[in-house]
Every structure is written in structure tokens, then in C-alpha cells.
């Protein structure tokens, strides 16, 4: 990913301690970081917390950023590390056990899924949510967020070759899940049509 001129200025502002630069960085990158965290965790409450942790980390480390820092990559690296840390600790979280079976993935598209396009979108979100964590993060960075593969490998802390392997596996896994979901949707539609005819 090429360091954009605007991001370069933002990094300079952050290093100087300019709150305006921080606000601009937040406005520019918040949604992408949040979307990444939401699709990684599958839970809005978790994504909310991790979003805050990520930006607090930037607030405290801003003055130490290197001049050539790619801000978006830096934020995604921190966001991903926050998610990994959350996942490690969540093993010990009793509230998760209590809510087990009652929680649903927040990636559910909601009532708008009545239209075919929205239903397809929902199926895609569901398929991504069902991928293994390794596959999901690789796919989200490259295919959804548009990171160059070299940059994505840096964010994930793995080699370029390892990333390509992960992407291949992720894509195969995704295709399989989409096929399964499509088949299920077709069966449901057929059953609905069957009930509709006298």
C-alpha cells in the first residue's frame, strides 16, 4: 500500500500532538477499522470495545510513530492484535458461557434481507463469519479492505508465501460455504413455493 500524501500529513500532525490531525484520522479510518473488527469478531459489543482500545493505543503511541508509518496498516495491525488478545482472554469469560446459544452473529443483515440482493449480501457475511479466524482475517484484509498482499502479510506478521496459502484456503473455504448456503436457500424457496400452491 502506498503511503498517501494525506496520511503522511496526518502522521506528521499526530507526531506533533495536533488534536485536529487525530480527529481527521479518526473520521477517515474509523469505519474501515470498525468493519474489520466487526467481521472478525462477529459481535457488535466486542467490536465497539476493540475499536476504543485501538484508538486509545494510537492516542498513546502517536508521538512515537515513525515518519514513514502507513497509518491504516498500523491501525489494522493494532486492531488485529487487540482481537487476538480478546480471543485469548474470552476463553476465561464466564459471561460468554452464560450467553452461549442465545447470542447471534451481529453480521446478520436484518429485515432488509427480504430482497434478493440483500439476502445474497447476508449470505456472504454469514459465509465470511463461518470461516476460521486465520482465513477470515486474511480474506478481510486483501479481498474486502483492498490491502496489497505484501502489506497484508506485514499486518498479520506472516510471510508473503504464508499469506498466499492462507488466501487460497480461505477462498476455497468461502466458496464451499457459499455453495452450501445457496443450496439451503434454494431448498427453502422450493419448500415455500410448495406450501404456496394448493
Nearer to other proteins (CB atom), residue 63 or residue 191? 63
Nearer to other proteins (CB atom), residue 72 or residue 170? 170
168 binds other proteins (CB under 8 A): yes
Which residues contact residue 133 at a Cβ distance below 8 angstroms, ignoring those fewer than 6 apart?
Answer: 40, 87
**Contacting other proteins within 37-66 (CB under 8 A):** 38-39, 47-48, 51-52, 55-56, 58-60, 62-63
> Which three cell numbers, joined as nine digits, stand for 20?
485536529
28 binds other proteins (CB under 8 A): no
Specify the stretch interacting with other proteins by CB under 8 A; choose among 3-11, 33-41, 66-74, 84-92: 33-41
- Candidates 8, 24, 28, 171; binder of other proteins (CB under 8 A) is 171
- Candidates 75, 170, 173, 181; binder of other proteins (CB under 8 A) is 170
**Contacting positions for other proteins (CB under 8 A):** 17, 19, 22-23, 26, 30-32, 34-35, 38-39, 47-48, 51-52, 55-56, 58-60, 62-63, 107, 120-121, 124-125, 139, 142-144, 146-147, 149, 167-168, 170-172, 174-175, 178
Amino acid at each position: 500500500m502506498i503511503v498517501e500524501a494525506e496520511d503522511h500529513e496526518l502522521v506528521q500532525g499526530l507526531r506533533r500532538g495536533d488534536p485536529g490531525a487525530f480527529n481527521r484520522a479518526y473520521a477517515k479510518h474509523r469505519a474501515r477499522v470498525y468493519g474489520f473488527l466487526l467481521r472478525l469478531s462477529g459481535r457488535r459489543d466486542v467490536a465497539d470495545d476493540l475499536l476504543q482500545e485501538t484508538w486509545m493505543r494510537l492516542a498513546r503511541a502517536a508521538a512515537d510513530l515513525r515518519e514513514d508509518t502507513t497509518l491504516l496498516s498500523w491501525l489494522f495491525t493494532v486492531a488485529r492484535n487487540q482481537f487476538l488478545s480478546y480471543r485469548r482472554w474470552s476463553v476465561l469469560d464466564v459471561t460468554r458461557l452464560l450467553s452461549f446459544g442465545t447470542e447471534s452473529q451481529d453480521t446478520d443483515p436484518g429485515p432488509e434481507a427480504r430482497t434478493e440482493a440483500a439476502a445474497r449480501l447476508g449470505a456472504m457475511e454469514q459465509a465470511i463469519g463461518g470461516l476460521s479466524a486465520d482465513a477470515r482475517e486474511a480474506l478481510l484484509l486483501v479481498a474486502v479492505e483492498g490491502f496489497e498482499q505484501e502489506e497484508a502479510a506485514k499486518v498479520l506478521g506472516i510471510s508473503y508465501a504464508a499469506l498466499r496459502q492462507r488466501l487460497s484456503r480461505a477462498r476455497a473455504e468461502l466458496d464451499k460455504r457459499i455453495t452450501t448456503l445457496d443450496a439451503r436457500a434454494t431448498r427453502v424457496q422450493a419448500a415455500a413455493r410448495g406450501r404456496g400452491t394448493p
